[in-house]
Amino acid sequence: MKLFIDTANVDEIREVASWGVLAGVTTNPSLVAREGRDFRSVLREIVSIVDGPVSAEVVSTRAAEMVEEALPLAAIHPNIVIKVPVTAEGLKATHELARRGIRTNVTLVFNPNQALLAARAGAAFVSPFVGRLDDVGHDGVQVVRDTVEIFRKHGIATEVIAASIRHPMHLVEAARAGAHIATSPYKVLQAALQHPLTDKGLERFLKDWEAAREAVAGGA
Q: How many Cα atoms are found within 13 Å in the side-chain-facing hemisphere of 2?
A: 17
Identify the residue among 163, 174, 177, 192 touching ligand E4P (CB under 6 A).
Answer: 163
The reply on whether position 158 binds ligand E4P by CB under 6 A is: no
The reply on whether position 107 binds ligand E4P by CB under 6 A is: yes
Q: With contacts defined by CB under 6 A, how many residues of the chain interact with ligand E4P?
A: 11
Compute the least distance from the CB of residue 132 to ligand E4P, in Å. 5
Q: Is 2 a catalytic residue?
A: no
Distance CA 85, CA 37 (A): 23
- CB-based contact 36:42 (threshold 8 Å): no
Pattern 85-104, binding to ligand E4P, x per CB under 6 A? --------------------
The reply on whether position 164 binds ligand E4P by CB under 6 A is: yes
The reply on whether position 7 binds ligand E4P by CB under 6 A is: no
Stretch that binds ligand E4P, among 17-25, 125-133, 189-197, 201-209 (CB under 6 A): 125-133
Compute the least distance from the CB of residue 92 to ligand E4P, in Å. 21
Distance CA 103, CA 76 (A): 13
Compute the least distance from the CB of residue 127 to ligand E4P, in Å. 5
Compute the least distance from the CB of residue 161 to ligand E4P, in Å. 7
Q: How many Cα atoms are found within 13 Å in the side-chain-facing hemisphere of 191?
A: 13
Compute the least distance from the CB of residue 4 to ligand E4P, in Å. 8
Per annotation, catalytic residue among 83, 92, 153, 200 = 83
Nearest to 58 by CA among 23, 12, 89, 22: 89
Angle at 113 between CA 126 and CA 25, to 5 degrees: 10
Distance CA 122, CA 153 (A): 17
Measure CA of the first residue to CA of the last residue in the chain; give whole Å: 52
Identify the residue among 132, 134, 138, 142 touching ligand E4P (CB under 6 A).
Answer: 132
- Among residue numbers 176 through 205, which ones bind ligand E4P (CB under 6 A)? 183
- Where do the DSSP E strands lie in the chain? 2-6, 22-26, 54-57, 80-85, 104-109, 125-128, 159-162, 181-184
Q: Which is nearer to ligand E4P, 28 or 94 (CB)?
A: 28
Would you tell me how many other CB atoms lie within 10 Å of the CB of residue 36? 6
Enzyme catalytic residues? 83
Contact residues toward ligand E4P (CB under 6 A) are 6, 26, 28, 107, 127, 129, 131-132, 163-164, 183
